[in-house]
Structure 1
Amino acid sequence: MNFSGRTAIVTGGAKGIGRGCCELLAQHGANVVIADMNLAGAQEVEKALKEKGCSAKAVQVNVKSVGDVRAMVETAADTFGTVDILINNAGILHTTPIEDITEEEWDNIVAINLKSVFFATQAVLPYMKEKRYGKVLNLSSLAGRNGGIANGLGYSATKAGIIGLTRGFAARLAKYGINVNAIAPGSTDTGILDTLPQEKIDELVSKIPLGRFGKTKEIAGVAVFLCSDEASFMTGAIVDVNGGMYFG
């Protein structure tokens, strides 16, 4: 894969799968914008990439804010000239039982996990449509496929919504040369699992045919491939990376 001359934005890029995507894109020559609410974490990734001779820019963004999202895209374009790739990775997990989910919690998870995907994609369209080239990759989840196991229903609903957005964007943007795909990871060894009690972690592992959690580099590898020209004939695809838990 060769991303030389390409500029990529990765939301939630300071850690986990997002950081893995930033590192792999940079390794293959992309200009990488590490966008995260945690500016210090994003700057740490920027520093690490620059020390390896890569081109990177840390940007603080609250993906719930449309204004912040638009400013993120403008900063990327001002810094590197354009935007070629968007990876919508930012997201949060919750485990609240159905009976206990509040309106505030529901609105928060929808804003971070789903609303952000729509408006970030909307914000990059002028750059991609102008040159009739672009790659958008969305992070869904196994929970969006099967309703989830240990997570709260708001998480499952938003990740299912991402699948709908991916297919809708793909159908409408193909005429502009823009590929829109998604991956649906199963349980992956990232910081997001730290919110789960040990008994739920053990339960999750017991249900994975390959007998382990996924690794961030395994998920990032699929994500970055879908953003490459090697995947140019793929659009509207939802790629399952889950150790055998779902064979959609």
Structure 2
Amino acid sequence: MTATALLAGRTALVTGGTLGIGFGIATQLREHGAKVAVTGLTDQECAQAREAGFSAHVLDVRDREACTQVVADVVAEFGGLDVLASNAGVYPQSSIEEMTDEDIDLIFDINVKGTIHAVQAALPELIASGRGRIVVTSSITGNYTGYPAWSHYGATKAAQMGFVRSAAIELARKGVTVNAVLPGNIVTPGLEAMGQEYLDDMATSVPAGFLGEPEDIGAAVAFLASDGARYVTGQGIVVDGGQILPEEPAALEGI
């Protein structure tokens, strides 16, 4: 099967699709033949996405009504919706001692409630499609690993997987699959800002020996959105170059 044939004739919406992993997802879905709309937080982000050839819409996923309106706009433009890649999320750092209620509310409202809002808004169209696909961007953090100052972030990523599993059961007989991708260390503008030395150090903890690209996550999403994944639901695909595998750093010595 050619790359363009995989998702030919399908329409997709990628929340948080103007930057980083979301842009990689959008790019891969388009390369596999889908018509793709993305959302971003600002007019500037959306303008850049439009320059790259995407339909782009300003959206804060905390706003339920705005999610519903964006889906309606995408359907009006494309004639339907087959794939929702719920990717919008934030990853601020905060120690447990310093974490405020505002910090907790922000990350849960965007990462968890925002995911549910996006799914609720898209669901009628995904059911009508007859081949609806929901793919949530979760993380290895919170599901397999932990990291200092990311306890609240890890909690939201684990919460997303809890949602995925139960939603998959609820929607299975409505023709909609619900899955997730769990990225490891992926090179994004935010990570690149940490400097090359930091990137090189991170790569040493990955058995593959290098950090992933946003398109690596997008390729997994494209598979989960395809007919080839019609019998896959309630699952999380880890895309991390083997990062979660070593029991200790010494396991990587000499490979």
User: If the length of structure 1 is used for normalisation, what is the TM-score?
Assistant: 0.89
User: Measured at CA, do residues 44 and 198 of structure 1 come closer, stay the same or move farther in structure 2, by a change above 3 Å?
Assistant: closer
1:39 aligned to 2:43? yes
Task: Name the structure with the higher helix share.
Answer: 1
Aligned partner (choices 233, 237, 240) of residue 238 of structure 2: 240
The residue type equivalent to 1:144 in the other structure is G
Q: Deviations over 1:143-172 (max 9, x none)?
A: 021342245111100111111111111111
Aligned partner (choices 78, 81, 105) of residue 80 of structure 1: 78
Aligned partner (choices 160, 166, 169) of residue 168 of structure 1: 166
1:20 aligned to 2:24? yes
**Distance apart, 1:128 and its partner CA:** 1.9
Would you say the 8 A contact 1:20–1:220 is kept in 2? yes
Aligned partner (choices 218, 224, 227) of residue 226 of structure 1: 224
**Distance apart, 1:27 and its partner CA:** 2.1
Would you say the 8 A contact 1:171–1:236 is kept in 2? yes
- Aligned sequence identity (%): 34
Name 2:215's counterpart in structure 1: 217
- After TM superposition, list the pairs within 5 Å mapping 1:4-153 onto structure 2: 4-49=8-53, 56-153=54-151
**Distance apart, 1:126 and its partner CA:** 1.0
Would you say the 8 A contact 1:150–1:200 is kept in 2? no
Would you say the 8 A contact 1:36–1:60 is kept in 2? yes
User: Measured at CA, do residues 47 and 203 of structure 1 come closer, stay the same or move farther in structure 2, by a change above 3 Å?
Assistant: closer
Name 2:206's counterpart in structure 1: 208
Hey, what's the Cα distance between the residues in 2 that align with 1:111 and 1:221?
27
Cα RMSD (Å): 2.0
Hey, what's the Cα distance between the residues in 2 that align with 1:202 and 1:130?
46
Mark the runs of 5 or more structure 1 residues left unpaired by the alignment.
50-55
The residue type equivalent to 2:180 in the other structure is A
Would you say the 8 A contact 1:76–1:83 is kept in 2? yes
Mark the runs of 5 or more structure 2 residues left unpaired by the alignment.
246-255
- Please give the secondary structure, in 2, of the residue aligned with 1:98: coil
Hey, what's the Cα distance between the residues in 2 that align with 1:151 and 1:8?
34
The residue type equivalent to 1:15 in the other structure is L
User: Measured at CA, do residues 225 and 18 of structure 1 come closer, stay the same or move farther in structure 2, by a change above 3 Å?
Assistant: same
- Please give the secondary structure, in 2, of the residue aligned with 1:144: coil
User: Measured at CA, do residues 193 and 57 of structure 1 come closer, stay the same or move farther in structure 2, by a change above 3 Å?
Assistant: same
The residue type equivalent to 2:119 in the other structure is T
**Distance apart, 1:213 and its partner CA:** 1.6
The residue type equivalent to 2:24 in the other structure is G
User: If the length of structure 2 is used for normalisation, what is the TM-score?
Assistant: 0.87
Would you say the 8 A contact 1:93–1:151 is kept in 2? no
**Distance apart, 1:210 and its partner CA:** 2.1
Hey, what's the Cα distance between the residues in 2 that align with 1:10 and 1:23?
10
Would you say the 8 A contact 2:145–2:244 is kept in 1? no
The residue type equivalent to 2:162 in the other structure is G
